[in-house]
Amino acid sequence: MLQKLADHIATCLACAAEAEQRAADATNETTRADNEKLARTWRHLASSYQFVQSLERFLLDAKEDKGARPADPFPPAETAFDPETIAVLAAAYAKSLEGQSDALREAIAKRIIELASKGERDPDKLCQGALVLITGEPPIASLIGPGRERSGL
């Protein structure tokens, strides 16, 4: 499955590059804007596939490491998320990646999965929890949203 995901990611990124080239070559504003939007959509889809790939890699690693760490904070390999939860996790992952380096992708994914396995389903709180762990900085107010309490994630 990981190879199929890698192929899907490569295809999405290639399609995004083609759309960006069409946008650069466009002779009118509407065509340019449409192709730029299409490129962003392809890149977002690639990012979603990358998240699923990180999730799968994480679950495979957890299965291999089963029993190696008795106090493992991550969910057991048998952990399964329903489609709605996966959509929430993907949204939190995409939001968490904003402004982060590529090197942090897997760490962010693992933290989101850890929080989700503990029952958290709010994408803003998942994002906040991942960023607090990764950056060590307090969450940005815009991630919490109006009227929400800061949690200790």
- Counting residues of the chain whose pLDDT is more than 90, the rounded percentage is 20
Q: What is the pLDDT of residue 69?
A: 47
Work out the burial of residue 19: count CB atoms within 10 Å of its CB; fewer than 13 is exposed, 13-18 middle, 19 or more buried.
buried
Compare 11 and 74 and report the one with higher pLDDT: 11
With H, G, I as helix, E, B as strand and everything else as coil, classify residue 137.
Answer: coil
C-alpha–C-alpha distance, residues 45 and 94, integer Å: 10
9-65, pLDDT tens digit by residue?
A: 889 899 999 999 999 999 999 999 999 999 999 988 888 888 888 877 777 777 666
Can you give the pTM of this predicted structure? 0.48
Q: What contacts 81, CB < 8 A, 6 or more positions away? A: 89, 116
